[in-house]
Structure 1
Amino acid sequence: MDIIQSVEAIRNNHAPSAETGIALVPWTLPTIPEIPHWHDALEICCCLSGKGVFYFKNREYDIGPGDLVIVNHIERHTSKSYRGFTCSNLFLFFNASTIEQLDFRLLRPFLYDRDRFVHRIPAQLPVAREIGQLIARMQEELAERRPAYGTLIKSLLFHICSLLARHYDAETNGVWQPFYAKYAAVRLGLAYMQTHYRENIRLDDVAKAMSLSPSRARHLFTEVMGERFKTYLLHQRVQAAQRMLVQTDLTIEAICEQCGFQSASSFYREFRRLVNETPLSYKKRHSPPLLTATF
């Protein structure tokens, strides 16, 4: 696996810019997938070349040139290239709030029923080709940065989401509006967790942020996220630890404390269970090599 790519993946540094509303990230999938993760932004993967596979909780999809993969920001996923078929892609990241400002109904493809939704749009479909062309146009605008390029890129994003809403109409019709209301409530809890995961937070704290009872918050969280509050919080802390192990020179003990673990033993145990290696081994494997000065 390319070291720099691995570092960037764990940093999860794909924040859309205020000017364009998007982040466009060229990315080659590793041959060994990282642990399942999520991004703060919504995600569209456009495969450029090679062959790879995306893994979701109960599904997996082979991808090839021209295929699209649609990913929301609450469903954990991972991906890899098949050996001998290096899979290069262009990832489009954007915030749900950007779309809501225009028309919240365009979020329909990202508020899906996990039992019905198909994440992959095959290259042979006209909508995949059209969206691929729009993403390529975004890339050109970002490279040239001509006057009003930010506004034009946002208009391309709205066009893409409109095409997705039309494509997924049958799969999302009748289920998305009730789910949107539940998602809006859970999103308040997710925002609280993002700010306070370093602390010893409990479900009661998150329920208060959602203005719900703990029992209702627990049920709603599981329904929307597809996993329990404690499971999500644990993955959030481990993912933060992965970033800090690679990005900082902090000791493992300091990282343990800053990521909200109550003891070093629990940190080592849960990290190894989820990542399949120790924090120290992970840090050594993913940290960039030291540069040697030459005279």
Structure 2
Amino acid sequence: MRRDYNLSKDFPIHITRWVPLTVLEPFHWHNAFEVGYCFEGKGQFYFEEKRYEVRAGDVFVVSHMEKHRAQSDAAMPSTFYFVKFDGSLMRGTENELLTPFIMKSKHFVNRIAGDAQIAPQIGHLMHEIWKEMQEQNRAYKSMVRGLLIQVCTLLFRYFSKEMSTAEWSRSLQAYNKLQPALRLIHERFSEDIRLEHIAECLALSPSRSYHLFKETIGEGFKEYLTKIRIQESKKRLRDPNASITEVYLSCGFQSQSAFYRAFKLVEGMTPKEYSHYIIMS
């Protein structure tokens, strides 16, 4: 099932019912926040080097640009509700509600077990979001946003018990500070963006800008920019009429060789192999 969705600028949220394959697929990521609820079956979920067993009732939090993949049990395939949304939907609420989605600590546990008190509450809210998005009755956007805020509030209350107030505060302040640079990259990824442009945007030195990226996103500016470009190229590669040259030039790569090297490094396959994979899936 296709996982790469373009979020609407007017209402940047998408929900899907997802059944992972029983074979292990390549890692993928999104430049948005995600929360998933497994309502039946079992399997495994991987977040980079972390691995979790999946059982019905479990909740999973996926942070911005975090590599992840899931695999269903062959005998009892897992089925999820997955909500992907942009942080702009939280405007007007308490900023801290996004904190669980921006934690980059290796010690952060992405899974909330189904026997936790909030897990069935989140599952119910996710089901209501699904219904509202399917039916689209009058004022459904307001209803969906309200349900999402409840989900994020429950997640914040749960995870805030696991980490110190100082650590939450540092992560949130750093993420908010980085926002202008992230917007610049997302809007102008096809251009020749350099660390000096990021530093000017943030009113920081190039060295401090680099470290802010590393501390907040978990990788440097160049690595992040490359991942955004690769993510956009994957969307364009889904068009059977698009040529490789059109794709890499429109995504900010200066040559086909540079595009192939970056794509292979990030995705573990070449652009042509990815195109074939998309056709077969």
Q: Which of 27, 48, 68 is 1:77 aligned to?
A: 68
Per the TM alignment, residue 210 of structure 1 is displaced from its structure 2 partner at its CA by: 1.9
Instruction: State the partner residue of 2:225.
Output: 233
1:246 has 2:238 as partner: yes
Instruction: State the partner residue of 1:49.
Output: 40
1:180 has 2:153 as partner: no
1:134 has 2:129 as partner: no
Q: Give 2:137's aligned amino acid.
A: R
Kindly indicate whether the alpha-carbon contact (under 8 Å) linking 2:104 and 2:218 is maintained by their aligned counterparts in 1: no
Bigger mean CA offset, 35-44 vs 115-124: 35-44
Instruction: State the partner residue of 2:184.
Output: 192
Kindly indicate whether the alpha-carbon contact (under 8 Å) linking 1:14 and 1:93 is maintained by their aligned counterparts in 2: no
Per the TM alignment, residue 143 of structure 1 is displaced from its structure 2 partner at its CA by: 3.4
Q: Percent identity?
A: 32
Distance in 2 (alpha carbons) for counterparts of 1:233 and 1:153: 31
Secondary structure of 2:166's aligned partner? coil
Distance in 1 (alpha carbons) for counterparts of 2:180 and 2:254: 25
Instruction: State the partner residue of 1:13.
Output: 5
Q: Give 1:246's aligned amino acid.
A: R
Per the TM alignment, residue 182 of structure 1 is displaced from its structure 2 partner at its CA by: 0.9
1:74-153 superposed matches below 5 A:
74-112=65-103, 114-153=105-144
- Structure 1: state its 5+ residue gaps: 290-295
- Structure 2: state its 5+ residue gaps: none
Per the TM alignment, residue 68 of structure 1 is displaced from its structure 2 partner at its CA by: 0.6
Please list the CA deviations of residues 5-41 of structure 1 after superposition, one character each: whole Å capped at 9, or x if unmatched.
1xx22xx21526746x632111122344554333232
TM-score by length of 1: 0.85
Q: Which of 151, 162, 165 is 2:156 aligned to?
A: 165
Please list the CA deviations of residues 58-88 of structure 1 after superposition, one character each: whole Å capped at 9, or x if unmatched.
3122212111101122433233324444222
Instruction: State the partner residue of 2:258.
Output: 266
Instruction: State the partner residue of 2:19.
Output: 28
Secondary structure of 1:54's aligned partner? strand
TM-score by length of 2: 0.89
Secondary structure of 1:101's aligned partner? coil
Distance in 2 (alpha carbons) for counterparts of 1:239 and 1:286: 14
Per the TM alignment, residue 151 of structure 1 is displaced from its structure 2 partner at its CA by: 2.0
Q: How many residues align?
A: 280
1:200-211 superposed matches below 5 A:
200-211=192-203
Kindly indicate whether the alpha-carbon contact (under 8 Å) linking 1:100 and 1:107 is maintained by their aligned counterparts in 2: no
Kindly indicate whether the alpha-carbon contact (under 8 Å) linking 2:99 and 2:171 is maintained by their aligned counterparts in 1: no
Higher RCO (CA < 8 A, seq sep 6+): 1
Distance in 2 (alpha carbons) for counterparts of 1:17 and 1:268: 30
Secondary structure of 2:162's aligned partner? helix
Secondary structure of 1:52's aligned partner? strand
Q: Give 1:191's aligned amino acid.
A: R
Secondary structure of 2:266's aligned partner? helix
Distance in 2 (alpha carbons) for counterparts of 1:145 and 1:239: 29
Mark the CA change 1:259 to 1:148 in structure 2 (over 3 Å): closer, same or farther: closer
Secondary structure of 1:53's aligned partner? strand
Secondary structure of 1:73's aligned partner? coil
Mark the CA change 1:222 to 1:150 in structure 2 (over 3 Å): closer, same or farther: same
Kindly indicate whether the alpha-carbon contact (under 8 Å) linking 2:22 and 2:73 is maintained by their aligned counterparts in 1: yes
Secondary structure of 1:171's aligned partner? coil
Kindly indicate whether the alpha-carbon contact (under 8 Å) linking 2:39 and 2:123 is maintained by their aligned counterparts in 1: no
Secondary structure of 1:102's aligned partner? coil
Instruction: State the partner residue of 2:51.
Output: 60
Kindly indicate whether the alpha-carbon contact (under 8 Å) linking 1:210 and 1:217 is maintained by their aligned counterparts in 2: yes
Per the TM alignment, residue 44 of structure 1 is displaced from its structure 2 partner at its CA by: 0.6
